[in-house]
Amino acid sequence: MKIRGAPAIGIAAAYGIVLALENFLEQEIDSPYRYFFDQNEEVKQFKNSSVKIGDMRKVTLEASHVLEQTRPTAVNLFWAIGRMRSVIGDESITQPLSMARRLFKEAVDIYYQELDQEFAIGEYGATLIENGMNILTHCNAGGLATAGYGTALGVLYRAQEMGKKFSVFADETRPLLQGARLTAWEMSQRDIPVTVLCESAHPSLFAADMVDAVIVGADRIAANGDVVNKVGTLGLAVMCEKYGKPFYVAAPSSTIDFSIERGDQIPIEIRPDEEVTFYNGKRTAPPSAGVYNPAFDCTPAELINAIITESCVITNPSRNDIKSMLEGNS
Amino acid sequence: MKIRGAPAIGIAAAYGIVLALENFLEQEIDSPYRYFFDQNEEVKQFKNSSVKIGDMRKVTLEASHVLEQTRPTAVNLFWAIGRMRSVIGDESITQPLSMARRLFKEAVDIYYQELDQEFAIGEYGATLIENGMNILTHCNAGGLATAGYGTALGVLYRAQEMGKKFSVFADETRPLLQGARLTAWEMSQRDIPVTVLCESAHPSLFAADMVDAVIVGADRIAANGDVVNKVGTLGLAVMCEKYGKPFYVAAPSSTIDFSIERGDQIPIEIRPDEEVTFYNGKRTAPPSAGVYNPAFDCTPAELINAIITESCVITNPSRNDIKSMLEGNS
């Protein structure tokens, strides 16, 4: 949990594989990292070393297996690792230096591609934000969770850049308070008016007609449009249905896992009890009590008004074919 | 917030008026408290003192005005203070000692009446609890919030006494964690299996069909059956509606305020920002963020399957006449 947020996890895994390679190469070569990107540097040291490309493949593949075990839910992790493995397994790469440079380039590409996608998501999503709106978001799907701009929050940033005025409700997002700690901070940094509340106060906001729309990110989206995201997301979608407000999900299309048919088939990470029973070192529940602490929940597609991707806005994902909409716009 | 829970607040206010009287009498009489209840004690000291019944009325009335300002939402406070004021204003009481004893007796009566009502609520409510049920409760409506047995939790205690086996989900109840700190502790004391969760995990429980019923207390109920209770209650009622589970409220009939037609007319206490932005002395949100921290919300009667009182179970309060049901059973 030092790194969180689906896009950030994917990018970190790609760079993690590069770091594993760098650590390995350091045994043979002084400052191996500079060879990754300096085309003009004499590569004698690399060529004179006894580094074998087979060992490089082995070390990076091992690192990819370790990284794969860190978080089960966000698909970006597996997607980014999959891209790195394609390079690791590419038999057309025969030189150690080429392999190092190709792996580094792949990680950089993943990072820039994610960032570009976030800008594109912001562009599409900002059309849904109107002047004077009060927008509720959950957890943190901003720069601190992504390549640096944000998915759900990127939409708000783009709307702000377009001159739209709106205010944001950021729920605190128990147990780890990403909403209070991260989203409220990001909003404050950009001078977007933000109000923090406990999740328990969501229904009051809806009942008092103080929310015009909800926008969240996603950790994994099934082929049918069901969205797995931070626990509590489902409750907001149910509130939107009950009170007739739009519920939006902002995520790159790489978050959609077409290998999984329905959201209830996506594994949900169960986090440690102590996240709930301790806070800031102080126990908050009796030791004899059990704990239920899922990190994510699944929102069925029929509760979602739109999934905002980098290539199109998928409206009513339960009634539209997601794959053909994406292909029609790619 | 040293005393919380609607019934406990009412009882504490009644005893608070007695304490104000005792403090006043101590200026004139040694250990005045013993005269309140010892019928055989020589009352010479009282008679020889210069205490005037008019001053006693003034002091207790003043105390009642101070106590009335402490919490705006729970009706039990105003109900208990009203009963004490009836005694204070009773012109048939002419002797200082009689006034002292009558006020003390009224506070004791309020306490025992509440306790009796809690046992009766438990008796009615336990019929709704079935073997093997998983029951979700919110905040704390147990012995720590009442005369000592509980309203919502009294129902569970009575069911346990009748030999029923069930398990309880206690949400932590942000921001003050009454569920994790108090309800989970009460359950543990009585060996009822209890699992603590964040409010954000409610929807996951319902989606996984892990909850069979929700039972909560109430701070004030309007004449039409709308229930004001701890913030977050409305969200649970909406979840019950969405997932087809029963939603029960357990409260003495004194919680029903027939002078208020609808729940949205009941004042909702707004609590200090710091309850949300600090925890255990540590800041959890940026200082520039606003805070929305209502202590209660209002659940419309049509989302409530039954209100369990000491004299009857009011089923479907939105479709039945609450007053006539109570009168028919009193």
Is residue B97 over pLDDT 90?
A: no
Instruction: Give the span between the Cα atoms of B301 and B324, in whole angstroms.
Output: 16
Contact B289 A196 (CB under 8 A): yes
Q: What pLDDT was estimated at residue B255?
A: 93
Q: What pLDDT was estimated at residue B330?
A: 54
Looking at every residue in chain B, the average pLDDT score rounds to 93
Contact B284 A181 (CB under 8 A): yes
Set of chain B residues whose Cβ sits within 8 Å of the Cβ of A216: none
Name residue A220's beta-bridge partners.
A228
This prediction's pTM: 0.91
Q: How far is B28 from chain A (nearest CA, A)?
A: 46
pLDDT tens for chain A, residues 1 to 330: 678 888 899 999 999 999 999 999 888 777 777 666 665 555 666 777 788 999 999 999 999 999 999 888 888 899 999 999 999 999 999 988 889 989 999 999 999 999 999 999 999 999 999 999 999 999 999 999 998 999 999 999 999 999 999 999 999 999 999 999 999 999 999 999 999 999 999 999 999 999 999 999 999 999 999 999 999 999 999 999 999 999 999 999 989 999 999 999 999 999 999 999 998 788 999 999 999 999 999 999 999 999 999 999 999 999 988 999 998 865
Say which of A207, A281, A294 has its CB closest to residue B201.
A294
Cβ of residue A292 closer than 8 Å to a chain B Cβ: yes
Q: Which of residues 223-242 of B touch A (CB under 8 A)?
A: 230-232, 234-235, 238-239, 241-242
- Alpha carbons within 13 A on the beta-carbon side of B326: 18
Instruction: List the one residue out of B105, B79, B92 whose CA is nearest residue B21.
Output: B105
B182 to chain A: closest CA residue: A285
Instruction: Give the span between the Cα atoms of B204 and A60, in whole angstroms.
Output: 37
Q: How far is B30 from chain A (nearest CA, A)?
A: 44
Residues 6+ apart with CB under 8 A from B40: none
Instruction: Give the span between the Cα atoms of B229 and B255, in whole angstroms.
Output: 11
Most B CBs within 10 Å: which of A174, A200, A266, as the mutation test of the B interface? A200
Most A CBs within 10 Å: which of B73, B182, B186, B200, as the mutation test of the A interface? B200
Q: What pLDDT was estimated at residue A222?
A: 97
Q: What pLDDT was estimated at residue A67?
A: 94
- The one catalytic residue in A171, A219, A226, A257 is A219
Residues 6+ apart with CB under 8 A from B39: none
Q: What pLDDT was estimated at residue B28?
A: 78
Is residue B12 over pLDDT 90?
A: yes
- 3-class SS of residue A136: strand
Contact A204 B169 (CB under 8 A): no
Q: Residue B283: what are its φ and ψ, rounded to 5°?
A: -70, 135
Q: What pLDDT was estimated at residue A330?
A: 54
Set of chain B residues whose Cβ sits within 8 Å of the Cβ of A200: 173-174, 199, 230-232, 235
Set of chain A residues whose Cβ sits within 8 Å of the Cβ of B197: 276, 291-293
Confidence class for position B237, pLDDT limits 50, 70, 90 = very high
Q: How far is CA A134 from the centre of its chain?
A: 24
Instruction: Give the span between the Cα atoms of A284 and A291, in whole angstroms.
Output: 12
Q: Which of residues 20-59 of A touch B (CB under 8 A)?
A: none
Confidence class for position B45, pLDDT limits 50, 70, 90 = low
Residues 6+ apart with CB under 8 A from A223: A256, A257, A258, A259, A260, A261, A262, A322, A323
Mean pLDDT across the stretch B276-298?
94
Say which of B172, B203, B286 has its CB closest to residue A232.
B203
Contact B285 A196 (CB under 8 A): yes
Is residue B82 over pLDDT 90?
A: yes
A219 part of the active site:
yes
Set of chain B residues whose Cβ sits within 8 Å of the Cβ of A181: 284-285
User: What's the ipTM?
Assistant: 0.89
Count of Cβ atoms closer than 10 Å to residue B256 Cβ: 25
Instruction: Give the span between the Cα atoms of B181 and B179, in whole angstroms.
Output: 6
Cβ B263 vs Cβ B222: under 8 Å: yes
Q: What is the pLDDT of residues B168-197, one digit of tens each?
A: 999 999 999 999 999 999 999 999 999 999
Contact B207 A290 (CB under 8 A): no
Cβ A17 vs Cβ A63: under 8 Å: yes
Contact B187 A232 (CB under 8 A): no
Instruction: Give the span between the Cα atoms of B270 and B273, in whole angstroms.
Output: 9
> Which runs of consecutive H residues, i.e. helices, occur in chain A?
6-25, 33-37, 44-48, 53-68, 75-88, 96-126, 152-161, 178, 184-189, 202-207, 233-243, 274-277, 322-328
Q: What pLDDT was estimated at residue A275?
A: 95
Q: Which of residues 162-201 of B touch A (CB under 8 A)?
A: 169-170, 172-175, 177, 180-181, 184-185, 187-188, 193-201
Sign of CA dihedral A309, A310, A315, A317: negative
Candidate from A313-317, B204-208, B279-283 with smallest mean pLDDT: B279-283
Set of chain B residues whose Cβ sits within 8 Å of the Cβ of A290: 193-196
Q: How far is A268 from chain B (nearest CA, A)?
A: 10
Say which of A170, A188, A199 has its CB closest to residue B200.
A199
**In this prediction, what percent of chain B has a pLDDT beyond 90?**
81
Instruction: Give the span between the Cα atoms of A122 and A73, in whole angstroms.
Output: 24
- Residues A145, A151, A152, A158: what is their CA dihedral angle, to the nearest 10 degrees? 120
Q: How far is B279 from chain A (nearest CA, A)?
A: 8
> Which runs of consecutive H residues, i.e. helices, occur in B69-225?
75-88, 96-126, 152-161, 178, 184-189, 202-207
Residue predicted with more confidence, B160 or A47: B160
Confidence class for position B39, pLDDT limits 50, 70, 90 = low
Residue predicted with more confidence, B321 or A134: A134
